[in-house]
Structures are given as C-alpha cells and as structure tokens.
Structure 1
Amino acid sequence: MKRNILRRAVVGASALGLSVAGLMVAPSASAAFSDCPREYVCVWDNTSFSGLPKWKSKGNLYNLYSANGMSIRNNGVADAGADHIWWKATWTDGQSVNGCLHYPEGGSTSGTAHALYGKVTLNHAKWGGEC
C-alpha cells in the first residue's frame, strides 16, 4: 500500500514538474538527451535517461515492458497536430497513468521527459496535438 501511494505521489508530482524526496529525475540537456535524435520519441530501460535509448522512433511506440522502470523523452520538432507525445503506462498491479510530453522549444527541455518507476509497461507513446 505504501509503495502504491508513493508511486502515485511521484507520478502526480512529476506531472507537475515537482520532486518528491529526490525520487523524480529532473530532466536536463544532459549527454543522455543527446542520445535521442531530433524528431524522435526515445525510451530508456531505466529511470535516469542513462545510456542509449532501448527504443526510439519517429513513429508511435506500443507495448514496451521494463522491470527497471523507464524514461520517456519527446525530442520532436514543431509540427501542428503531431508534435506532442501522448502516452499511457500500466504497472503489474493494474494501476495506470496517462501523460503528454511537449517537444523542446527554444533549447528548453522542461516538460519534454518523464520517468516511470517499477515494473511497468508503456502501452503507447503516440504523436498527437497539443497537451
């Protein structure tokens, strides 16, 4: 029960761009982000955006599983109606969450990435319109 409450707190806070007891990864323009090519959505098999992305695509992604948690990054470009990433994730206990990631504007990476903790499936990461 405590783990579920903490997971919800982390997911809720991260949607607002906040940190919960240092558990949320604060995305930055780090070397890890440079491993995600422009115009792609990238997903890492960890919560720290470290190493090369395990999955990346200029299109949509579906049904990706990680026992280590995962990180998602929208490195798209402005394209009306198709430059945001709409995603849904489900944990092994059946809980799920939806979110939307903006594309980077003016060098800012704020709101372009999100970390998911625990054993999780990214049901989809789809390109779409404004969040």
Structure 2
Amino acid sequence: MTSTKLRRAFGSAAVAALIGFSLFAAPSSASAAPSDCPRGYVCVYDADGDRVWYSQGGLSGKIGPFPGGGTVYNNGWPDPGADHVKYTVTRSDRSTYTVCLHYPGDDTPVQGAIPNNGFIGPISWVAAC
C-alpha cells in the first residue's frame, strides 16, 4: 500500500473514530450546531440544544449548573496564539477537569460535553492544547 493510500485510510478511520467519540461524549439531546454558533465564537448549549452563552472572547467566571448536561463548541478560526478553547468543568461533586477544543478543520474534537449538573468556566482562547 502506498503512503498516500495509507494516509487516506488512516485519515478516514480517524474521522470515523472522532465522530463516534463526539456522539458518545456529548449528551444525546444536545448538539452544538455550527449554524447556531457564529464563526469565530465559542458557544455553550444546554441539554435541550439551546445556546445559553457565546462569545468571541473568554469567560472569567462560571456558568451552570446544566441539568441534563450540555455542550461546548469551538467555531473559531485558525489563528496562531488563540484558536483553541480551554475551559474548566466542575462536576456536581465539585471535582474539576480541564478540556481543550481545537478549531474546526484540523481533524480534532471541536465539541466537548458538560456533565449533568456541571458548571463550566473559566473559558479562554489559547495557542494550543
């Protein structure tokens, strides 16, 4: 198999895996629709799929809780120094973890899940994950 065929096969498998992961990671009733999230923005959706926050900037505080969970979507542009979205998730048990989302088009996740009754914030644009 030539290297081009290998790259195509690997690329297709990676895209399929990412789509499968995105479907698993996001709450089933929420989907961050790019048509609902302006290009260049980060958008936050509740479990019903309603956009509850969006900005071209960041968020210094927290938003939530999200009964039933929610979704964060990075619809940013490629921009060295500020095209990835990094945010902190606080679960209902008060434990935290950090998520970093890439911009659309670089074959990496642009959407992240918010757990049931979770909070998110702060949110910031960063150079890389």
Q: Distance in 2 between matches of 1:130 and 1:67?
A: 30
Larger Rg over CA atoms: 2
Counterpart secondary structure, 2:73: strand
Query: Deviation string for 1:10-54 (max 9, x for gaps)?
Result: xxxxxx9564xx74339xxx88221000000000012x7x24x11
Unaligned 5+ segments in structure 2 are 1-16
**TM-score, normalised relative to structure 1:** 0.70
Report how many residues are paired: 107
- The one-letter code matched in structure 2 to 1:58 is Q
- Give % identity: 34
Is the 8 Å Cα contact of residues 32 and 45 (structure 2) preserved in structure 1?
no
Is the 8 Å Cα contact of residues 32 and 71 (structure 2) preserved in structure 1?
no
Q: Which has the higher helix share?
A: 2
In the alignment, which residue of structure 1 is the partner of 2:42?
41
Q: Distance in 2 between matches of 1:31 and 1:123?
A: 18
- Equivalent positions of 1:1-131 (< 5 A) are 17=18, 19=21, 23-25=24-26, 32-46=33-47, 50-51=49-50, 53-61=51-59, 62-65=61-64, 66-105=66-105, 110-131=108-129
Superposed structure 1 runs of 4+ greater than 6 Å apart: none
Task: Compute the RMSD of aligned alpha carbons.
Answer: 2.7
In the alignment, which residue of structure 1 is the partner of 2:7?
none
